[in-house]
Structure formats: C-alpha cells, structure tokens
Chain A
Amino acid sequence: MNISPTEAEESLAAIQAMARKTRQSIASSGTYITLIVTGIVWLIGFMCTQFLPGEIVGYIWGGLSLTGGVLGTILGLRLGKRFRSPSTIPMAKRVGLFWLLLVLFGIAAIAVAQPVDGKQATMLVILFILLGQMAMGLLFSFSSVWWTLPITAVALIGYFLLPGIYYLWMALLGGGGMITLGLYIRLRW
C-alpha cells in the first residue's frame, strides 16, 4: 500500500485531532458537571447568606449541599454508563477516602484557627474545597485543574478587598463563574 507524504500528513493530523478530542471529551465531561452543580449551590447559598438572617442560612446550606451531592452523584453515574474503566472502582474508593480525610483536616484546621467571623470560616472552607478539586484535577487530567485557580483568585479578592459584599461577590462571580465555565466547556469543547 503506497500513499503520498501529503496523504500521510493528513492521516497523522486526523489521528492527533481525534486523540485530542477523545481526551478532552472524557476530561471535560466530569468537569462541566462538577462546575455547574457546585456553581448552582454557591450561587443560591451565598446569595441567601448575604441577604437572609443567619439562623436559617445554616439550614439552607445543609439542604443545598445535600441536594448538590445527590445531583452530582446521579449525573456522575449517568456519565459512567458511557465510559467504563477497570480502575474505576478502586479509584473511586481512594477518591472517597481523600475527600473524607480532607473534610476532617478542614474541620481540624478551622478548630485550630478559630475564625473570628463567618467570612473567615467560609473562606477556609472554600480554600479546602478548591484544594481538593485541584488535587482531583491533577490526578485525573490537567485540563480539569485550571478552573480552580481563577475561582480561588476571585474568592481571595472578594475576601480581602470587598468584605462588605463578600457573599454577594462569591454568589455572582464564584457561583456564576463556575456555571458559565461549566456551560462553556459543555457547549464549546
């Protein structure tokens, strides 16, 4: 079988394009679900924290976190039906253990630091969540790491420079930003 160098170049380009598309598709499929679900939770939760009395905000966050967790799991399981890996089950156990340990370390860090107000406690929780997301991204694919950095920067800017509207800032730029990024990945990648 003989082909010209031009045909060979075209074939090689087609192979590279397909390999890139496959890797991006698999990496982004989990990322966009995480971004949209977390973004919605943040948008509603922080908006309520900014405008509603403190007593009911705790319940709202509890409900939102539970709903977000259940929704994320259901969507993740649906996604899993399209892609199977022999390494998924042991990896899922390790990921679960990692998040459990991160939560315990987060609780310990907050207990030691003794935040003076809700904003400081919130900021610590956000930093731990984003650290966890970053670790997951680094473990599974670099393409799902980059979004944690601008969100962390947004959270820090709001905390240090805009303390009066910190929760509103986190709702619109943190939550809204994640939803926008998630939709962008879903529609454009």
Chain B
Amino acid sequence: MAELNEIIHQTVRLRIMAALVSLEVGDEVDFTYLRDLLEVTDGNLGAHLRKLEESGYIIINKTFVDRKPRSFISATKEGRRVFEEHVAALETIIKGN
C-alpha cells in the first residue's frame, strides 16, 4: 500500500512537485518562472527547493544564459515515483472515507 511522503506533503513542496511532474520527462523550468507560477517569494521557494534537492526528488541545474546565472529545475525519476506514490496514498485515504 502506498504511503504518504512527509517531505512532499508540505503545501509549497506539494505544489512544486505537482508543477514539475506535469512537465514532460526531462523538461526544466526557470527559477523565476516557477516562483511566478507558485506565487511565492525567492527565499521561500529556494528553501523548499533545497529540501527537495537534498531528498533527490528534483535537480537544480545552474547555468549561464546571456552571461547571467540561471537555475533550471526538473523532477528526477525518483521524484516522479514518490510523487505518484503520494498521490496514490491520498486517493486511498479518500476512498477509505
């Protein structure tokens, strides 16, 4: 039976993962794009991204575009798997009602 994931369950991290998992495998989004999409502050997003990166659920690809530093973020294979498990666990809880 699938179990809830405590790291993913936090509201902002849940929304980050939902956004990244809805992209095609391998697709990456810019930090500012994700910040605007989630309507959170730079600091808040940065902290949650670090937590997800430490858990191996996302990859933060730091690069330069037009000589400016940019961070592109994508979900890892493991991140997609645990997110699917988390969703399955939520569905199980709802069905059990």
Contacts and interface: CB of A to CB of B under 8 A. Distances in A.
B24 A85 contact: yes
Nearest to B11: A14
B27 to A, nearest CB: 5
The A interface, classified by DSSP as helix, strand, loop or mixed, is helix
Interface in A1-50: 1, 3-5, 8-9, 11-12, 14-16, 18-19, 21-23, 25-26
A93 interface: no
A85 B26 contact: yes
B97 interface: yes
Interface stretch (B29-37, B41-49, B50-58): B29-37
Interface string A84-115: 11110000000000000000000000000000
A83 interface: yes
Contacts of A82: 29-30, 32-33
Contacts of A3: 4, 9, 93
B23 interface: yes
A188 interface: no
A83 B90 CA distance: 30
A84 B72 contact: yes
Contacts of A8: 90-91, 93-94
Given A3-B93, A11-B90, A82-B29, A21 B37 contact: yes
Contacts, number: 80
Given A1-B6, A11-B9, A25-B37, A86 B26 contact: yes
14 contacts: A3-B9, A4-B93, A5-B96, A8-B93, A11-B14, A14-B11, A14-B14, A15-B15, A21-B37, A22-B18, A22-B22, A82-B32, A85-B27, A86-B27
Given A19-B18, A81-B30, 18 more contacts: A1-B3, A1-B6, A5-B96, A9-B94, A14-B14, A14-B15, A15-B18, A18-B18, A21-B37, A23-B22, A25-B37, A81-B66, A81-B70, A83-B27, A83-B33, A84-B29, A86-B27, A87-B26
Interface of B: 3-4, 6, 9, 11, 14-15, 18-19, 21-24, 26-30, 32-33, 37-38, 65-66, 70, 72, 87, 90-91, 93-94, 96-97
- 10 cross-chain pairs, A with B, having the tightest CB-CB distances, nearest first: A5-B97, A18-B18, A19-B22, A8-B93, A82-B33, A82-B30, A15-B18, A22-B19, A8-B90, A86-B26
